[in-house]
Structure 1
Amino acid sequence: MNRLATIICIALAVLSAACTRQSAGEPVRAVYYWSTVFDMDSVKTRFMTEHGVRKMYIRYFDVVQDDGGQPVPNATLRFRTAVPRGVEAVPTVYIVNECMAADTAGLADRLLRRILQMNATNDVDGVKEIQIDCDWTRRTEGRYFGFLRTLASKAKAEGLEVSATIRLHQLSMAPPPVSRGVLMMYNTGDFTDLRQEKPILDMRDAAPYLRHIGSYGLPLASAYPIYSWRILFRGGRYVGIMHRDDDLPVLPGDSIVTRVPDINDILDAARAINRRRSDANSEVILFDLSIQNITRYKPDDYEKIFDSHTAGRQSVH
C-alpha cells in the first residue's frame, strides 16, 4: 500500500474511533495545527485516530503590519493533504497586536473573505467556527473588540461563529465579544530569561491569574502545551529561538537550552482549572500537532491530558 493510500485509510478511521472513544458528555478532544504547511502524514493521522481527536484548530495565516503600518496577511498555510474526514476544522488567524493600533477598517471583511476562499480552494467542508488569536492589551482593547463585533456579524451571515484565544493575563480584563474563548495554559514565564527554567508552564506563575476564571464571562475551553523551545543564549543573554540547527549562528561559549513542560505540570494545570471551573475542560486542546510534539510523551500521558476533566475536580467557594 502506498503512502497516500495508507494515510487515507487511517483518516477514514478517525471518525469511527472518535465515536467509539467518546460518549455523550465527555469532553471534546482537539488539537491546534500551527504551521505553514498542512501535511497529515501517517504519524499525525494515527495520533488523531488513537486518541479520538475530532477537532482541529488550523492556523490559516497571520496578520501583520506592512511597511506602511497597514494590516496584511502573512505566512499563509499551504495544504499538502486534506483535513481528515470526520474532523471539524476551525480556521484560526493570528493577529499581531500592533495591527489593532492601526486602521482596521475593512479588515474583518477581508479576513473573512480570505478564510472562505481558502476553505473553498482546499475543500475544507463543514466549518462552523473561526477563531482569532491576538494578545490584545488595554491600549488596543477598544479597536480589537470593535473588529471582533464586525467580524462576528459578517461571520453570522455565513453561518459561522467566532471564538477567540484568551491568555492568562486577559482573564482579569473584559471578555471579548465572541461566542466563546480558549484559555491558553502556556507561555506563563519569560523565555528570554536564562534563570526561567519553566517559561512554557509554571503553575507558580499561572496560579494568580486563575482566581479570575470562575467569574469570567465567556464559555471556555482549555489548551495545554506539548511543545518545546530550544533557546540560544550568549553570555547569559537571550539571542533567539532555534527551530532548526542553522537558524542562528552558534559561537563558542554560547548555550542552547531546551525548555519543555513536564507532564505533571500539565496535569497540575488541569487540576487547578477543575477546582475553579471544571466546565473549562469540556474541550481539551493540545498545542500543537507536530511529529516531535506527539511523540514526546507516552501515549498514556496524552490520554491523561485529554481526560483532564476528571483531574482533581472539586468546587471552590
Structure 2
Amino acid sequence: MKKIFFLVLFCSLLISCNEKTKPIVSFYYWKTIFKLSNTEKEILRENNIRKIYIRYFDIDLHPKDTNPIPLTPIHFKEKMNDFDVVPVVYIKNKVMLKQNLDIEDLAQKTVKLINEINTKNKIDSKEIQIDCDWTLSSRDNYLQFIALFKKLSQKKISATIRLHQIKYFKKTKIPNVDSGVLMYYNMGTIAVDSLNSIYDKKIAERYLKSLKKYPLHLDFALPIYSWAVHIRNQKVIGLRSKLSISELKKDENFEKVNSVFFKVKKPNYKNGVYYEENDLLKTEAISSEDLIEMAENLNKNCVQKPNEIIFYDLDEFNIENYEKNIFKQVVSCF
C-alpha cells in the first residue's frame, strides 16, 4: 500500500514539475488607446493572462530639427490592477543612426516619460522592454543607450532580438539586458511574389541552429496578425491591415484569384483606401498550423526553454481568426 502511495505521489510531483516548466502565455498590446473589447477580455481570462506588454510610445526623429521625439504615447481608458504591465518603447533605428546623438539625454527623457505614464495610471512596472532593430551602423549608440537606460530605470530590462542578430551576434553584439525576446516573424521581404513575408519556414531554417549558441536567455514572440500587400502594375504600393480573406470574399469589388491573391474588379474605396481596377491584394496570414510548426521548430533548437510565449498582438480582429485554445496548444509544444 505504501509503495502505491509513494508511486502516486512521485507521479503527481512529476506532473507538477512538468507544468511549472511550461512557458506562460502573454500578449503585446500595440494600440494608442488601451481599452479591451469583450472578446479580448475573454481570451485573457481563458488563458489566465497576468502579463501584458504595452507599447507606451515610439521614438522617432523630428522632421525639422532631427532631434528624437516621442510619438503617440499610450492613453489608458481602463485600470490595470489585474495585470503586470511591461512598458515597451519602440525606437526607430534611424534615431540610433543619428550622428552626435545625445544618448544620455535620450535615456533620461525615455525613463522620465515612462515614469510619468506609470504614475498617472497607478502602474508599478517591474520590467521595461526596448524594441529596436539595431544594425552594425547603429550598434554602438544602441548598446550605450541600453547600458544608460538600465542604470537610470533601476528595472529589469528586456530587449527585442531579430533573427539576424542571433546568427551574427559576435558582430551585432548583445545588449546589456536581463533577457531578450526573439521576434519570430517579419522574416521575408514584402514583395509581389507569392511568399509570405510574415513567416517563411525556409528563411527561418537558415537561422534556427544559431539559437543554440546565443548566450542571452530568450523568450519568443509569435505572430497572430495578418495584412494584405497592395500591388499595382507589379509594384507594391502599400500594406493594408485589418483585411480578412473572408471579408474580401464577400465584397463584390474583389475577385479571388487563388488562395493568396485577390483582384480588384472595379474601382472602389475600402477602409479609406482607393483601389484601381486590376489592382491585386496579396493576403499574408499565419494559420494555427503555422503557429504549431513555429513553436515545434523553436523548441527543437533552443537550449534554454523560454519562460514566456508572447503573441503579437492582442486585437479582436486577430483573435477571431483562431480557435480559442490555440495559445495553450502552442505553449504545450515546449
Structure 2 counterpart of 1:40, one-letter code: L
Structure 1, residues 219-271: CA drift from partner, whole Å, max 9, x if none?
A: 11001100001221101210111236334321111112221012222221211
Q: Distance in 1 between matches of 2:305 and 2:239?
A: 31
Structure 2 counterpart of 1:257, one-letter code: K
Match of 1:44 in 2: 40
Contact 1:104/1:147, CA 8 A, preserved across alignment: no
Tell me which of the two structures has the higher relative contact order, counting C-alpha pairs closer than 8 angstroms and 6 or more residues apart.
2
TM-score, normalised to structure 1, is 0.85
- Across the aligned residues of Structure 1 and Structure 2, the Cα RMSD in angstroms comes to 1.7
Query: Once the 2 structures are TM-superposed, how far is the Cα of residue 54 of structure 1 from its aligned partner?
Result: 1.7
Change (3 A) 1:262 1:195: same
Match of 1:182 in 2: 181
Query: Once the 2 structures are TM-superposed, how far is the Cα of residue 47 of structure 1 from its aligned partner?
Result: 0.4
Structure 1 residue ranges without an equivalent (≥5):
1-21, 310-317
Q: Distance in 2 between matches of 1:41 and 1:262?
A: 23
Q: Which runs of at least 4 in structure 1 moved beyond 4 Å after TM superposition? A: none
What are the within-5 Å matches in structure 2 for residues 221-300 of structure 1?
221-243=219-241, 245-277=270-302, 279-300=304-325
Match of 2:30 in 1: 34
Contact 1:231/1:241, CA 8 A, preserved across alignment: yes
What are the within-5 Å matches in structure 2 for residues 1-317 of structure 1?
24-67=20-63, 68-83=65-80, 85=82, 87-102=83-98, 103-105=101-103, 106-125=105-124, 127-156=125-154, 160-171=155-166, 172-173=168-169, 174-191=173-190, 193-243=191-241, 245-277=270-302, 279-309=304-334
Structure 1, residues 132-169: CA drift from partner, whole Å, max 9, x if none?
A: 0001000100110000000011112xxx1111000111
Larger gyration radius, structure 1 or structure 2 = 2
Q: Distance in 2 between matches of 1:187 and 1:90?
A: 22
Structure 1, residues 102-157: CA drift from partner, whole Å, max 9, x if none?
A: 213310110011001001111223x110000001000100110000000011112x
Q: Percent identity over the alignment?
A: 31
Structure 1, residues 157-197: CA drift from partner, whole Å, max 9, x if none?
A: xxx11110001111022211111100011001112x12143
Contact 2:33/2:76, CA 8 A, preserved across alignment: yes
Partner SS, residue 249 of structure 1: strand
Query: Once the 2 structures are TM-superposed, how far is the Cα of residue 303 of structure 1 from its aligned partner?
Result: 1.9
